[in-house]
Chain A
């Protein structure tokens, strides 16, 4: 018996799909069912009521942290990618190109350990500021709270967004940008009004991916900011490890799915308005 090409293709792809089904789709269904059932097995929203009652503050905290981190990441990444594309001083562009990618593949847990020491009250950052005379020793405060989490996320994700953005900017038609410069527009204006609108889809994809990544990271909020309030990932781990409370943990899980779905919908909506406009 000889197989058609379609059958062969399906046969070849099946084992990979099976692994994803077993280790992603099946647990996903598990988490949805567990979140929406009561202890007797009937449909109920009581896990959500409990999750909201205990963790509404953390839900808000998580959204604020992730949105702020994404906004700052976008800002720094645009500045880096813009300098790399439109910079005129070869020495500065070269140095920046050699520097900015370093955190790209550094694991989050290593970034968290770095920041735990760097941003502490007596960390290298405060010590450097004091040594340079920029700050009195008594003014030193620890940044190991929401600020530390945001700093770690921005430090870790900026190279990724900047790399994708710089790639997209490099592929743009140079003639348009040069024309803008020749007509007397400043480089900042060329970047914001001519270049960025053309690479907005790339920027948004990179930001949505970063958004979901930040919602998934457990090590950074656990290691950088130990106390309350904290992020939902830490709350989920706590519900499981301390109480074995799967219902509430899964309800929190569904809430994180909804938050990331919100980001994805914003992205898709942008894509759709663009398609109807064109």
Chain B
């Protein structure tokens, strides 16, 4: 009797798991199908003609997608550079130094993420328009950097806070200057966390749509904007292939996040 009940339970749980997996991966499977469907119309449940014609179109060196991929990666690299240039000093100040009103400063960096952003971006676009940097890579990079700063500052602060103070003191005791101690002891020890925050900012920038939609158009077409234009234009194949390109880094990061962020750093994030 008990055996039968537990068997029933296990099969019920398995059935639920199958439904869950279907709802989780069904949308992704549909995307993958569209990317290789040369012709697909009702009432056919699966594509009528399969092929890689659209892949060739997207990956043609002169195609829009390659240009957008280049723009996206270029913007993401610049965003990471700006965010790290600002967040390494800020993270050191927040993680290591005595700072008045520390909690308030931590919250200031969170604010851009804690407010509904569309209303902010429409006004940023208006300000940028007056400054003449609307529709430029610089404008988009600045918006992405402000948006990603919370991750880079908070993770950098946690990474610096996790560095053992005794190691710095030892370096100072044997005669290293404060600056030398920072560059040869503190920074290398905090580097894994800072690199993780850089990857985070890179991905955020790569995936960002709303800010680019208001600040970048019509000149700056990143991959998410290309995806949007293709989807709204009814070109499901190009939209799906673009979406798959954007999926690769996201899924890789999801699978490896625990290697990038050590538990002792993660435990200090936001504190």
Q: Chain A contacts of B122 at CB under 8 A?
A: 31, 236-237, 240, 246, 249-250, 253
Residue from A105, A108, A116, A257 within 8 A of B203 (CB atoms): A105
Cβ proximity bits A216-229 to B, threshold 8 Å, 1 near / 0 not = 11110011000000
- Say yes or no: B98 contacts A5, CB within 8 Å: yes
Residue from B25, B99, B210 within 8 A of A13 (CB atoms): B99
Q: Does A215 count as interface, using CB distance less than 8 angstroms? A: yes
Cα–Cα, bound, A15→B18 (Å): 51
- Say yes or no: A109 contacts B207, CB within 8 Å: yes
- Say yes or no: B146 contacts A114, CB within 8 Å: no
* Complex A-B: 9 CB contacts under 8 Å: A19-B145, A30-B123, A31-B120, A107-B206, A216-B210, A237-B118, A237-B122, A254-B119, A260-B115
Q: Does B22 count as interface, using CB distance less than 8 angstroms? A: yes
Given contacts A92-B13, A105-B251, A128-B26, contact A23 B209 (CB under 8 A): no
Question: What is the size, in residues, of chain A's interface with B at 8 Å between Cβ atoms?
Answer: 82
Closest chain A residue, CB of each to CB of B146: A23
Q: How many A-B Cβ pairs are below 8 Å?
A: 243
Q: Does B58 count as interface, using CB distance less than 8 angstroms? A: no
- Say yes or no: B97 contacts A103, CB within 8 Å: no
- Helix, strand, loop or mixed for chain A's interface? helix
- Say yes or no: A219 contacts B210, CB within 8 Å: yes
Cβ proximity bits B175-189 to A, threshold 8 Å, 1 near / 0 not = 000000000000000
Q: Does B51 count as interface, using CB distance less than 8 angstroms? A: no
Return A141 CB to nearest CB of chain B, in Å: 14
Q: Chain B contacts of A23 at CB under 8 A?
A: 112, 124, 142-143, 146
Return B207 CB to nearest CB of chain A, in Å: 4
Chain B residues in the interface with A (C-beta under 8 A): 10, 13-14, 17, 20-31, 33-34, 42-43, 45-46, 85-87, 89-90, 92-94, 97-100, 105, 108-109, 111-127, 142-143, 145-146, 149, 153, 203, 206-207, 209-210, 213-214, 224, 227-228, 231-232, 236, 239-240, 243, 246-247, 250-251, 253-254
- Say yes or no: A118 contacts B228, CB within 8 Å: no
Q: Chain B contacts of A223 at CB under 8 A?
A: 228, 231-232
- Say yes or no: B254 contacts A105, CB within 8 Å: yes
Cα–Cα, bound, A246→B121 (Å): 12
Return A6 CB to nearest CB of chain B, in Å: 6
- Say yes or no: A99 contacts B21, CB within 8 Å: yes
Residue from B26, B33, B112, B236 within 8 A of A125 (CB atoms): B26
Q: Which 9 pairs of residues, A with B, have the shortest CB-CB distance?
A: A253-B119, A114-B27, A107-B207, A12-B89, A27-B123, A9-B97, A23-B146, A16-B90, A118-B27
Q: Chain B contacts of A102 at CB under 8 A?
A: 24-25, 28, 251, 254
Given contacts A12-B97, A106-B247, contact A117 B31 (CB under 8 A): yes
- Say yes or no: A13 contacts B93, CB within 8 Å: yes
- Say yes or no: A103 contacts B24, CB within 8 Å: yes
- Besides A30-B126, A222-B228, 10 more A-B contacts (Cβ < 8 Å) are A5-B97, A13-B89, A19-B149, A99-B21, A100-B24, A107-B206, A131-B45, A216-B118, A253-B120, A260-B116
Q: Chain A contacts of B121 at CB under 8 A?
A: 27
Q: Chain B contacts of A264 at CB under 8 A?
A: 114
Q: Does A67 count as interface, using CB distance less than 8 angstroms? A: no
- Say yes or no: B118 contacts A233, CB within 8 Å: yes
Return A230 CB to nearest CB of chain B, in Å: 13
Cα–Cα, bound, A257→B31 (Å): 34
Closest chain B residue, CB of each to CB of A124: B30
Q: Chain B contacts of A92 at CB under 8 A?
A: 10, 13-14, 17
Q: Chain A contacts of B239 at CB under 8 A?
A: 113
- Say yes or no: A110 contacts B247, CB within 8 Å: yes
Q: Does A89 count as interface, using CB distance less than 8 angstroms? A: yes
Return A34 CB to nearest CB of chain B, in Å: 7
Cα–Cα, bound, A219→B124 (Å): 19
Cα–Cα, bound, A26→B87 (Å): 20
Q: Chain A contacts of B231 at CB under 8 A?
A: 112-113, 116, 223
Q: Chain B contacts of A9 at CB under 8 A?
A: 93, 97-99
